[in-house]
Homo-oligomer: A and B are copies of this chain.
């Protein structure tokens, strides 16, 4: 463990991510973060300014990575929902941080340019798919996207127990989620009663 500023920075961010996801902004302790990172408090302040800015840094990194890793496929929205769900289960920090942000900071993190831009492009993609007739146009594209992300995120969150999920339930929950999304996007009167591109 030589002196590597970049590496130390990363350790601090990592520790902060865990602490904030677990306890939120008000509940998090700066001392605990520094200790968990094996660094000192002044160093943390030198790198990140203050507690609030540190939360920003944490949230921005997590959300940016999330957006980058979950590209939308408007032709297969159930599959997209499944990927959101999987990500949310694998990294519960994401969902928790998002809820903390909503509760403690009026969702200011969700109003960042990165997020807004990603959203716009996803809505546009859905809109196109609706125009092409691949999926139902019964919901406006923006509402459909919100419906899907809401469902995937909260659904994962609801399933996640205090000490991680019980394995059996997760698969069932995932299946239910996909099924629900399929119902939301399938064309009126299509004979398609459930089998779709997202099954395998």
Chain A residues engaging chain B, CB cutoff 8 angstroms: 23-27, 96, 99-100, 102-104, 106-107, 138-139, 143, 146-147, 150-151, 154-155, 157-158, 161-162, 172-173, 176, 179-180, 183-184, 188, 193
Contacts and interface: CB of A to CB of B under 8 A. Distances in A.
Nearest to A139: B176
Contact of A157 (B27, B96, B102, B172): B102
Given A151-B150, A151-B151, A184 B188 contact: no
A179 B99 contact: no
5 contacts: A24-B104, A27-B27, A106-B162, A150-B151, A183-B184
A107 to B, nearest CB: 7
Contacts of A96: 103
Contacts of A103: 24, 96, 99-100, 103
Given A102-B157, A150-B155, A158-B150, A139 B179 contact: yes
Contacts of A150: 151, 154-155, 158
Contact of A176 (B147, B161, B162, B172): B147
Contacts of A154: 150, 154
Nearest to A107: B162
A180 B180 CA distance: 9
A147 B26 contact: no
Nearest to A149: B158
Contact of A183 (B23, B25, B183): B183
Contacts of A23: 26, 104
B104 A27 contact: yes
B146 A158 contact: yes
Contacts of A143: 172-173, 176
